[in-house]
């Protein structure tokens, strides 16, 4: 729950402006980007994700550092399980 | 200097450690609290205490949401989970938290319909897919996760999803810091401020710490170098007799916080008059509840919640550890009755709890190093 997972914005979801496809270590999932829309968010930018919501924009370097940090804390696998576990953007 | 060479910048780490030793006045004892459980985890994992001088003590603060949740609230949530119409959802961290009659995971094994989710939006989707059931989301966390619950509730209202509600246990960090500062016998010199909470609330809410209490606080990132640099910044303030809010984590934390997140929090939640924190007792205006406009989505109003207060097992000394009076291994149960495999107190449940972090990185390593008697 307290994991901050870095992801790269790939594209926005048609007709659902609150959602964007992000990529984390090769895995693509939709996350909610409502909290970052005001300041503008573009494909290619990096974000920190908490429980399915992009909470802050970060640099590519910070994203890389954060991923390395998660690995050093032994939380990288849990982070990937979390990203893969986001179900709300999946077709049901 | 274990771990130092695997750090990204071993040279900078050594420099920062040297600077800390230079700044720490040998005639003084420093007590610095890291508020956030993420920092506690990183400090133990990276063995940072080993880089610090003996007269600089890190006190592990209340910033681990499952650790400060009183057992009675887990019991209340599980009472709702046992209702036949309910599908109860919670984050993975909550699933192992002990209630009086076992954890959510154990209740699930006994037949309650409890599912782990990674996002509150997944709980909402579950409600949409199960119109004949009622889905309850066990919301927990500080200001980092509270906006996600708020946005989920706004979404539920927008979509008119009425078989969904939230059992709200969100807490706010500022009143807890104030309670610690006002507690008798408080001997802290400064704070390492939380990183991700501050991305939401910004740095301004910490100003009372400097203005009313004259203590420095430095909002910090989570890497070893971040934490050491924050300690350098704190020691520089103390040496110069300054007490300011500084932001070491400016690459992620904006000074004003995240305004859309703060607006969403304000629209959905209001402060509870008081809320019980495990180890700290009742703290006024320290937790969030749903506003009347969201009464329909408030599990505490939809269902009868027993609201029983449960005192912690007498022998467990979670409160003393939370307040920094005891170190984890000084608790009578530590490593014997209370282990990460069979936690008695919540500090042993989460990897961000001081006891679990200590057990994992210090206790086990020490036990493996010493020969069997």
The verdict on a CB contact (< 8 Å) between A50 and B251 is no
- CA torsion through residues B211, B352, B102, B84, sign: positive
- Per-residue pLDDT at B186: 80
Question: Quick check: A8 contacting B, CB < 8 Å?
Answer: no
- Per-residue pLDDT at B2: 47
Q: Which residues of A touch B46 (CB under 8 A)?
A: 72
DSSP B363: I
CA–CA min distance A20, chain B (Å): 14
Average predicted confidence (pLDDT) for chain A? 93
Q: Which residues of B touch A59 (CB under 8 A)?
A: 251
- Closest Cβ opposite residue A73 in set B45, B122, B260: B45
Q: Which residues of A touch B352 (CB under 8 A)?
A: 2
The verdict on a CB contact (< 8 Å) between B144 and A58 is no
Cα separation of B7 and B10, whole Å? Answer: 5
Q: Which residues of A touch B196 (CB under 8 A)?
A: 2, 4, 48, 50, 55
- Per-residue pLDDT at B1: 41
Find tokens 């103390």 and name the residue.
B238
Q: Which residues of B touch A74 (CB under 8 A)?
A: 45
The verdict on a CB contact (< 8 Å) between A55 and B196 is yes
- Per-residue pLDDT at A13: 92
What ipTM, to 2 d.p.? 0.96
Count Cα neighbours of A15 within 13 Å in the Cβ-side half-sphere: 1
Q: What does DSSP say about strands A27-32 and A16-24: parallel, antiparallel, or unpaired?
A: antiparallel
CA–CA min distance A88, chain B (Å): 5
- Per-residue pLDDT at B369: 61
Q: What number of helices (H) and strands (E) belong to chain A?
A: 2, 5
Tell me the DSSP string of B133-175: SEEEEEEEESTTTHHHHHHHHHHHHHHT--SEEEEEEEB-HHH
Cα separation of B208 and B44, whole Å? Answer: 29
Question: Quick check: A17 contacting B, CB < 8 Å?
Answer: no
Report chain B (373 residues): mean pLDDT per 10 consecutive residues.
61 95 96 94 91 94 89 95 97 91 94 97 98 98 97 98 98 94 88 96 98 98 95 98 97 96 98 91 95 98 88 79 82 91 82 87 69 48
Q: How confident is the model at residue A92 (pLDDT cuts 50, 70, 90)?
A: low
Locate the chain A residue with the closest alpha carbon to B45: A73
pLDDT tens per residue, range A21-71: 999 999 999 999 999 998 899 999 999 999 999 999 999 999 998 999 899
- Closest Cβ opposite residue A59 in set B120, B196, B251: B251
Window A:24-83, CB contacts with B under 8 Å: 32, 34-38, 48, 50-53, 55-56, 58-59, 62, 65, 68-69, 72-75, 78, 81-82
CB within 8 Å of B322: residues ≥ 6 apart: B60, B61, B62, B67, B68, B278, B279, B280, B347, B354
Cα separation of B265 and B168, whole Å? Answer: 13
Helix (H) or strand (E) holding B19: helix B10-23
Three-state secondary-structure class, residue B352 = coil
* pTM (two decimals): 0.93
CA–CA min distance B286, chain A (Å): 19
Q: Which residues of B touch A53 (CB under 8 A)?
A: 119, 147-148, 151
- Closest Cβ opposite residue B151 in set A32, A69, A92: A32
DSSP B287: B
pLDDT tens per residue, range A13-27: 998 999 999 999 999
Find tokens 């998660």 and name the residue.
A70
Cα separation of B106 and B113, whole Å? Answer: 11
- Per-residue pLDDT at B373: 45
Cα separation of B190 and A70, whole Å? Answer: 27
Task: Kindly state the tokens that stand for B188.
Answer: 């802290």
């Amino acid at each position: 729950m307290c994991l901050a997972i870095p992801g790269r914005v790939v594209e926005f979801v048609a007709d659902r402006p609150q959602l964007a496809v992000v990529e984390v270590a090769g895995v693509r999932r939709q996350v909610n980007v409502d909290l970052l829309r005001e300041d503008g968010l573009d494909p290619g930018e990096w974000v920190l994700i908490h429980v399915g919501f992009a909470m802050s924009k970060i640099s590519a370097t910070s994203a890389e550092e954060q991923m390395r940090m998660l690995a050093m804390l032994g939380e990288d696998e849990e982070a990937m399980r979390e990203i893969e576990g986001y179900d709300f953007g999946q077709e049901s | 200097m274990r771990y130092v060479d695997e750090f990204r910048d071993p040279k900078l780490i050594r420099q920062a450690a040297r600077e800390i030793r230079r700044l720490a006045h040998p005639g003084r004892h420093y007590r610095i609290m890291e508020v956030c459980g993420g920092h506690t985890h990183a400090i133990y994992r990276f063995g940072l205490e080993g880089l610090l001088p003996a007269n600089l003590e890190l006190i592990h603060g209340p910033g681990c949401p499952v650790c400060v949740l009183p057992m009675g609230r887990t019991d209340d949530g599980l009472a709702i989970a046992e209702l036949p119409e309910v599908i109860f959802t919670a984050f993975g961290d909550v699933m192992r938290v002990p209630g009086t009659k076992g954890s959510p995971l154990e209740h699930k094994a006994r037949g309650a319909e409890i599912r782990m989710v990674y996002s509150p939006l997944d709980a909402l989707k579950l409600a949409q897919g199960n119109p004949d059931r009622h889905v309850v989301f066990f919301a927990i966390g500080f200001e980092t996760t509270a906006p996600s619950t708020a946005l989920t509730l706004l979404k539920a209202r927008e979509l008119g999803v009425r078989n969904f509600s939230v059992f709200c246990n969100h807490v706010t960090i500022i009143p807890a810091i104030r309670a610690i500062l006002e507690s008798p016998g408080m001997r802290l010199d400064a704070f390492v401020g939380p990183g991700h909470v501050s991305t939401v609330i910004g740095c301004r809410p910490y100003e009372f710490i400097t203005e009313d209490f004259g203590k420095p606080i430095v909002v910090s990132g989570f890497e070893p170098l971040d934490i050491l640099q924050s300690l350098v910044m704190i020691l520089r303030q103390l040496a110069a007799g300054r007490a300011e809010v500084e932001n070491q984590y400016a690459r992620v934390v904006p000074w004003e916080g995240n305004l859309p997140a703060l607006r969403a929090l304000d629209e959905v939640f209001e402060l509870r008059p008081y809320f019980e924190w495990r180890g700290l007792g009742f703290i006024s205006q320290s937790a969030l509840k749903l506003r009347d406009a969201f009464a329909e989505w408030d599990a505490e109003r939809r269902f009868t919640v027993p609201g029983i207060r449960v005192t912690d097992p007498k022998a467990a000394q979670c409160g003393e550890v939370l307040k920094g009076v005891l170190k984890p291994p000084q608790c009578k149960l530590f490593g014997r009755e209370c282990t990460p495999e069979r936690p008695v107190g919540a500090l042993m449940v989460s990897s961000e709890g001081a006891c679990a972090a200590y057990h994992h990185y210090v206790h086990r390593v020490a036990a493996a190093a010493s020969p069997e008697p």
